[in-house]
């Protein structure tokens, strides 16, 4: 898990730890006598949320205190977070927004809500996502300024700026989102869809209208879900996986995520959760 790419040397960066401890401890795999049903859900989450790397997280282990929640959460969350252009019976079912934009929005929610678990984990996941997409050179500027993106608009596309404005308002008060802003976002999505599919003639106006509606639903659901999740992480003080756990996420985070991002996260979160 601890692959290393940095903008500066990070081995000596100070990662600020929170005060206090988890208010509800993670539940060990196999501790629920339901004939392996919840243990299999934890394993499913560990592989898919680890994106091919086995990563048993404190997120799914804490959810396991409500076994049915843990069992249903994995496929539900994958449907709008990790699934990429998923089709069934010839119809696209999910993955209407690309993974890089999703990670940008997830990190924006985490920064707005000052949530340690989401911000640290998705700073790491976002980096790997941008790397896989061949866009690693964009990562630092885009992620470093998410909490003040309006002052650093030069690093974002018009579409990214529009979605970030929406995200900020949903986090603060969804009533602040105006019809004009929503219509502009729809226009930008439609234009981007045409740009991506330029020349192949496969996207009719009707298809594009439907795709935009699907994208708007996926974007707003993603942001709203992480508004819920970040608050849940914070109130339960869910801890990052560390030395002595099944995986040591904090070591991977400290040695992989650029120093500037870690220091920004320290500043935003302080010693809280």
160-182: per-residue pLDDT in tens?
Answer: 999 999 999 999 999 999 999 99
Mean pLDDT calculated for residue range 135-146 = 97
Residue 53: closest CA among 3, 4, 6: 3
pLDDT band at 1 (very low <50, low <70, confident <90, very high): very low
Domain boundaries, the chain: 19-80, 95-267
Residue 11 — pLDDT band, cuts 50, 70, 90?
Answer: low
Q: First vs last Cα of the chain: how many Å apart? A: 23
- Which has the closest alpha carbon to 99: 119, 113, 75, 78? 78
Which pLDDT tens digit goes with each residue over 200-254?
Answer: 777 999 999 999 999 999 999 999 999 999 999 999 999 999 999 999 999 999 9
Average pLDDT, the chain: 93
> What does the alpha-carbon distance between residue 81 and residue 77 come to, in Å, rounded to a whole number?
6
- pLDDT at 5 exceeding the cut of 80: no
pTM of the model as a whole: 0.93
Query: Using one digit for the tens of pLDDT, what is the confidence trace for 83-99?
Result: 888 899 999 999 999 99
The Cα 142–Cα 78 span in angstroms is 24
Q: What is the arithmetic mean of pLDDT over 64-84? A: 95
Residue 108 contacts residue 170 (beta carbons within 8 Å) = no
CB-based burial, 69-94: b 16+ in 10 Å, e otherwise: ebbebbeebbebbbbeeeeeeeeeeb
Examine the pLDDT at 152 and tell me if it is beyond 70. Answer: yes
**CATH architecture group of domain 95-267:** Up-down Bundle (1.20)
The burial of 258, by beta-carbon neighbours within 10 Å (0-12 exposed, 13-18 middle, 19 or more buried), is given as: buried
- By 3-state DSSP, what share of the chain in percent is helix, strand and coil, each rounded to 5? 60, 5, 35
Average pLDDT rounded to a whole number, residues 29-34:
92
Q: Give per-residue pLDDT as tens, 88-133.
A: 999 999 999 999 999 999 999 999 999 999 999 999 999 999 999 9
Phi and psi of 272, rounded to 5°?
A: -95, -175
9 has a pLDDT exceeding 70: no
């Amino acid at each position: 898990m601890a692959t290393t790419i940095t903008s500066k040397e990070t081995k000596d960066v100070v990662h600020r730890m929170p005060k206090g401890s988890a208010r509800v401890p993670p539940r060990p795999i196999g501790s629920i006598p339901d004939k392996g049903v919840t243990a299999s859900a934890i394993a499913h989450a560990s592989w898919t949320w680890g994106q091919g790397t086995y990563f048993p997280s404190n997120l799914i282990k804490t959810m396991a205190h409500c076994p049915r929640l843990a069992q249903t959460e994995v496929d539900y969350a994958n449907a709008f977070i990790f699934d990429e252009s998923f089709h069934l019976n010839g119809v696209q079912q999910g993955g209407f927004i690309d993974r890089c934009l999703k990670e940008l929005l997830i990190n924006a929610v985490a920064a707005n809500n000052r949530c340690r678990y989401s911000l640290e984990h998705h700073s790491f996941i976002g980096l790997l996502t941008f790397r896989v997409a061949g866009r690693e050179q964009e990562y630092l500027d885009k992620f470093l300024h998410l909490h003040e993106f309006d002052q650093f608009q030069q690093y974002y596309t018009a579409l990214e700026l529009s979605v970030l404005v929406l995200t900020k308002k949903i986090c603060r008060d969804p009533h602040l989102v105006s019809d004009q802003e929503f219509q502009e976002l729809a226009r930008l999505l439609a234009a981007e869809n045409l740009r991506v599919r330029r020349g192949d003639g496969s996207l009719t106006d009707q298809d594009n209208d439907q795709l935009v509606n699907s994208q708007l639903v996926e974007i707003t659901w993603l942001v709203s879900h992480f508004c819920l999740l970040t608050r849940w992480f914070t109130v339960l003080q869910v801890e990052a996986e560390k030395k002595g756990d099944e995986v040591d996420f904090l070591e991977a985070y400290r040695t992989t995520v650029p120093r500037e991002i870690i220091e920004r996260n320290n500043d935003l979160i302080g010693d809280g959760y």
